A = this chain, B = another copy of it.
Amino acid sequence: MSNSLFAPRSVAIIGASQSPGKVGHALLHNLIKGGFQGQIVPVNPKADELLGLPCYRTLLDYDNPVDLSVIAVPTRFVKDAVQQSIDAKAKGIIVITAGFKEVDQAGAELEAEITDLCRSRGVRLMGPNCLGLINTEHQLNASFATQLPAPGAVSVISQSGALCTAILDWAESRHLGLAKLISVGNKADLNEIDFLKALADDDQTKVIIGYLESISSGDRFIKVAESVARKKPVVILKAGASKAGGKAASSHTGSLVGTDLAYGAAFVRAGVIRAVAFEGLLDYAKALAMQPLPRGDRVAIITNAGGPGIMAADAVELSGMHVAVLERATARALKAKLPAAASVGNPIDVLGDADPERYAAALNAAQEDDSVDAIVVLLTPQAMTNPTETAHAIAKTLRGEKPVLAAFMGGKEVLPGRDELVTYGLPDYPSPERAVAALKAMVDYSTWKRRPPRVVTRFPVNRRRVERILSRYDRLGQTQVGEVDAKEILRAYDFHVPAGRLVKDVDRAVEVAQQIGFPVAMKIVSPDIIHKSDMGGVKLNLATIGEVADAFDLMTLRIGRQLPQARIHGVYLEKMASRGVEVIIGMTRDLQFGPMLMFGLGGIFVEVMKDVTFHLAPITADEALQMLRATKSYAMLEGVRGREKVDLSAIAGGLQRISQLVSDFEQITELDINPFIVGAEHTEPVVADARITLSAREPNHD
């Protein structure tokens, strides 16, 4: 794909036009003005010559093959133009024209036809409904955006064409070079995943930034993004977060899972840096493109004014990074070079009258200091300040081992200095807080990159047993797996389930209770009753034969009265679980990203405090422990107020086994173990209750 699109030797513009203001004119004009060195082939039935180039009535009139065809004819002529392009041996086609899937059903059908046409001939299609493509390396501006940016290290993938124009305009005014700019449009054929792959192998691209409203395939996205992120940073702004939560899932876990959570989990897994605002996208890209990654999160701050230094320190601590404690040697070195009134702590205050040399001295000392991982340089325009010379001095002092980010605060006075910074490959920010936020993105990415290899444990399990149970549900067309079978399934995946048996009459109940030992619990078993306890279908802590007999008779009598239609399979009688901390572990299957595991402390912690964490399956032991640690109530597990510490690895093991189960069986759409009762270290946690939902055989279009 990349060659025909990114480095074509010849480009046709079908729908090239003479009238300024028309897209077909802008495309041709931009391609010429950009300095594209290959062949440019304008196609327009009504012209012989366009902007000084010979123009063809159809592409077939042009005798040589073209690599790339850019189409900007009215919607109803697009299919023909695509056919022409294919016949002219184009390997890549960009359809700029709008009026397809984004408009109506007819448009969607036309889009599908064109896509099929391209695919059947092995031609890659970009768009439709896009701004086009820019590759500065080849001076290729195959877009209707006027500006061909300077060459640089940042490539852009955007699902919004308009945002491309804003980014181009911003990049130009901040002197940031771009490598490729890709407006993906309707993603009929080529989508963000294809372009991520292409950019991963593009030497010119050091950082990829993306604006996305949707992702074409969650599964593939994670796999591709993860392998791309191992090579180079990927920063994505995912818009539409606030629309989440509309999913009216009936189950407990489901009610806490919004799509945006799944995106968040996917980005964390894949090492994608998430920007939450437009400026963050560009701010992070700048730092990642220009500076080395930090090895840790200890930040030195250099400033010519106290106030901004405090602001930066606040931002560093608030973000979770650390204001570095400088080594003594650093203080000594600084004392030797700076005036007596300067602060040689951190922030290092080089004072209001600081000249460029003082900045250089401070930067040198901070680069030298082994307890500093990253450096933020602040400047305010005071009477003696020379922003340009200071930028120059900073640049000369740079060693390239630790990231240095600069915030020159102000307007016109500091702008020449900021421009100078960029020239030297130093990312510049208008405020301390924005520099620190960019640094935090670098630290997070660096941490992800240096993480230990992911090893997903596979436990020996009785997979066949689960297959048998689930195929029975499949035969019967049932989707709700109640407690008894859910526990059977979990037992096959090596969960500890209390001893228990289904009983159908009171004598058998008493007999089983005596076999498994008191106290026991009794729960009604019926495919028609989901919320057992609400119906009086649960009795706990029955300690004697008499209590068991009473409970059985009362339960069956009352439920029979209340729900005469309900099919009652009997009563499940089991040994009471021993006491411990109640947690919930569960899973919902996200439409995009597949099984998402959930963890939280039981009861009010989940229901009132919403203190739950999520992670995409498959999960490693370390990731499972991270899920526990990420809850606010984690201290409860570690033991507070004289409580004993619970067996954390047992919970992690439970999450890992659920991860394996739901990966093995794609028909499981939801699973809840609630509560999962966890005891002290080296004890076995117990599944006290569990529920599983299966996908319906007919896909559900709700």
Contacts and interface: CB of A to CB of B under 8 A. Distances in A.
A609 B611 contact: yes
Contact of A241 (B144, B239, B314): B314
A156 to B, nearest CB: 12
A610 B410 CA distance: 39
Interface string A17-54: 00001010010000000000000000000000000000
A608 interface: yes
Contacts of A163: 305, 307-308, 380, 409
Given A160-B305, A163-B308, A308-B162, A174 B315 contact: no
Contact of A162 (B158, B173, B305): B305
Contacts of A159: 307
A695 interface: no
A172 B409 contact: no
Interface stretch (A499-507, A633-641, A679-687): A633-641
B103 A341 contact: yes
Interface in A208-249: 211, 213, 237, 239-243
Interface in A290-316: 304-308, 310-311, 313-316
A1 interface: no
Interface residues of A, number: 80
Number of this chain's copies in the assembly equals 2
A433 interface: yes
Interface stretch (A265-273, A394-402, A411-419, A523-531): A411-419
In the complex, which of the residues A23, A313, A413 has the most CB atoms of chain B within 10 Å of its own CB atom?
A413
Contacts of A240: 310, 314
Given A26-B383, A239-B314, A608-B635, A307 B433 contact: no
Nearest to A213: B310
A604 interface: yes
A696 interface: no
A433 B23 contact: no
A665 interface: no
A165 B633 contact: no
B640 A170 contact: no
A440 interface: no
A240 B316 CA distance: 11
A234 to B, nearest CB: 18
A336 interface: no
A392 B145 CA distance: 24
Given A163-B307, A242-B317, A313-B242, A169 B433 contact: no
A65 interface: no
A412 B173 contact: yes
A586 interface: no
A314 B278 contact: no
A152 interface: no
In the complex, which of the residues A144, A165, A171, A431 has the most CB atoms of chain B within 10 Å of its own CB atom?
A165
A21 B355 CA distance: 13
A434 interface: yes
A410 B317 contact: no
A166 interface: yes
A410 B160 contact: no
B431 A279 contact: yes
Interface string A340-368: 01000000000010000000000000000
A44 B315 CA distance: 45
A557 interface: no
Contact of A382 (B162, B341, B603): B162
Contact of A409 (B170, B314, B430, B434): B170
A476 interface: no
Given A410-B169, A411-B169, A160 B604 contact: no
A161 interface: yes
Nearest to A415: B173
A160 B412 contact: no
Contacts of A165: 380-382, 410, 413
Contacts of A311: 237, 239, 277-278
Contacts of A455: none
In the complex, which of the residues A173, A409, A414 has the most CB atoms of chain B within 10 Å of its own CB atom?
A409
Contact of A242 (B171, B243, B314): B314
Interface string A176-218: 0000000000000000000000000000000000010100000
A146 interface: yes
Contacts of A318: 241-242
A432 interface: yes
Given A380-B165, A608-B633, A632-B609, A171 B411 contact: yes
A120 B544 CA distance: 90
A412 B317 contact: no
20 contacts: A21-B383, A144-B383, A158-B307, A159-B307, A162-B305, A162-B380, A166-B409, A166-B414, A169-B381, A169-B409, A170-B411, A173-B411, A237-B311, A240-B314, A278-B409, A604-B633, A607-B641, A608-B636, A609-B609, A610-B632
